[in-house]
Structure 1
Amino acid sequence: MELAKHADAVERLLKGRNLDGWEMFLSQSRDLAIEAKQGKVDAFRAAEPFGVAVRLKVGDGLGFSFSTSMEPAALSMMVDGALVAARAQAQDPCYTLAAPAALYPELPWLYDPELPAVDEELKVARALELERLTLATDPRVKRVRKCSYGESVYSTFIRNSLGLEKGYRGSYVTCSVSAVAEDGGDAQSGWDYAFSPSFKGIDIEAVARGAGRRATSLLGARTIPGMRCPVVLDNHVAAALVEVLAPSFLGESVHKGKSLFLGKEGEQVFSELVTLRDDGLLLDGMGTAPCDGEGVPQQDTPLVTSGVLQGFLYDSYWGKKAGVSSTGNAERGGVKGPPRSGAHNLMIQPGEASPEALLAGVERGVLITEVMGMHTANTISGDFSVGASGFYLERGEILYPVKGLALAGNLLQLFRGVDLVGSDLRFFGGAGSPSLRVGELEISGA
């Protein structure tokens, strides 16, 4: 592996230094981004980022530095910078490096060997075709706001002074489109996307249909008076709620007193219908890899089982603080920052209820398909108040689209109130959920 040769060059610089431990992380990729607009290529960007980062241990101090150049002078400056930081760093016995693992998971599907050989003209054609298909979904879809194709072929390599050495490569392709539908003076937008490790894994027709359907279905939306009623959250909205919960499942947040679940391990925190886990080995998952940013094997970690809180997610540092092993949840956003704890593929386990079953039995209520301002939710108290739109329900049937709603409540109370879990699990980035039905929520309307 080419990155291993670069690591050798860095390791030679570390020899003779008065160190108590070291770690190096190398990363390179070939990235492509294409945007289509009005039947033409609106943007075409290609990049090949490369970099190396080191963490050096001196006593109980740990210093970090990085370089995007393999020139000897740049590497020497990087090592010197990390040494200065390690000596200046406050001493902390929890600064630690990962031990080598006996076994790493095999994920042969993570890399698509055909992707680099696909002609760029085919990739441009895919972006243009996605825009054309979206406009063709319905006469009321008048324009496409943004239509994108993206890809990356990447390699990473980790080595440390404890004998850990792990490299792997992967690939991914994304497509997304935002459509605008207009009718009778009303305009609504709809968005959809797809992610896959392979070029063939993307269904652009499904992406076009999804965006077109979301845009057109909300045309003619009405306002309704406020009420307290059953609410069905579609998988897009439910995944947004899971994403808000993510920081509370980190050991770091627990230690700092910033978790919703502080002191609740072993307690019933959600409805018994809700099971939630972080699966770092999920097939086709955006956060899947054989190891985390420190070289610890990733794993499938149960967090909430039948509503009962099982535990939290840790990297090496916060695991040592808590007196537990790392769960393989160190993540890196490239070489320019040290690893930090984070979820990989955080998901609510799907149930068996069909979309029809979720609506059945709702005498008067709403199906929420869009929320605005979920990032404003208080991740410590769980309180939230967000704008929303969707559909008014009566006797289990969708009657008409609604807008101008506001949802307010508490995340813990919301998840305790789940009385039905859908079968339609879908991921939006690193968070996934099926649709959920909540027995009662406060809805503010006109």
Structure 2
Amino acid sequence: MKYFEANFDGLVGPTHNYAGLSVGNVASLSNANNTSSPKQAAKQGLQKMKALHDLGLVQGVLAPQERPDVYTLRRLGFTGSDSDIIAKAAKQAPAVFRAVCSASSMWTANAATISPSADTSDNKVHFTPANLTNKFHRSLEPQTTGRILQAMFADPAHFAHHQHLPDNDHFGDEGAANHTRLCSAYGKKGVELFVFGRYAFDQSKPAPKRFPARHTLEACEAVARLHGLSNDHVVYMQQNPEVIDQGVFHNDVIAVGNQNVLFYHQQAFVDTQSKLDELKRKFGNDSELFLIEVNDNEVSVQEAINTYLFNTQVITLANGEMAIIAPTECQDNPAVHRYLSELTSRGTPIKQVHYYDVKQSMRNGGGPACLRLRVALSEQERQAVNPHVLMNDQLFATLNSWVDKHYRDQISEADLADPQLLKESRAALDELTQILNLGSVYQFQR
């Protein structure tokens, strides 16, 4: 049976804005309150999706969240009509209001953790939405994310959906941004690599001092249990606290994997050698596993953060070669560009580098890897996916027309308080659920 990895990219929402909400994310903070370009951002994202589809990959679309989130504002004590609530919140609690307007759901690497059927005890694809408890603005996402995923992967014969973990920092879960699966082939049992920032129940263990460690070991272990994973095929690795304090807020800012390749920075992990030895042992065939370590003298941690060298996608093309999908920031940086140019001739499976302009996302703190959720599927499982969310020429044209119809060219912080923006956004999302055949996944539709 044929197996492959599908990528589901987050569709940038109509209220895309720069609020600088993510402490620990240097790019997000440095662009706080700048004027954003929702239409351009959505089209950049769609162009990337289409490009990967044209490379022969299975590419899907993940719908955005409804923003502003007036339902959360009601829970927080604001009353009246939706327009009244928006006006009151913007005036009385501007920081809270900016949070409920967040555009962060575009980074679907944080949407969920997914284990393919080859790894799970019941041979189904398992989904657990991330609770994202470390950031208030992101903690508003998991309920809607769960409904969207269930509308996309609805067949219970192939797909199993779990509720997100308890909404508590002890089980802080950041989803696939801290999860990588390594395997000899997508359809064979692999090793699932869970990366965490801290131990929730053991304060004596190392932890960052400047920026928060968002993901806990205990959350990783819980997801592995929910997904029915064998301990012989799971590895837990801790992020280096020092690089978290430099702005590496997720593992996918400093490491990325695909099939039998793990591409990572020298400073990415704690206790690196022993954990890599465990990874090799559980992978089973050392000769097939490529561990590509980037040294400080080749690319510094700061250069990796500034260019998102590791927040690239490593994909397998139809001919079996691997390619890196990188933001143009990697091309513009001499050290990173030189490294990537040389990497393709070093005898690893990575033979190509493709550069894409995703500046609207980069300015808000996310590169190509942040924008996609990976799902390894058999051909039979792919046939069970909601076909309306899978990219093709017609969907690309339809969604571009939809963006032209509903999105503003620019949004400033002041624009977020315009009650008309909520009406525009709801009209857009209502139409989107029909295009993608999702049903009533948004609260305003229920």
Q: TM-score range by the shorter chain?
A: under 0.3
Q: Higher strand share goes to which structure? A: 1
Larger CA Rg, structure 1 vs 2: 1
Scaled by the length of structure 2, the TM-score of the pair is 0.21
Q: Which has the higher helix share?
A: 2
Normalised by the size of structure 1, how large is the TM-score?
0.21
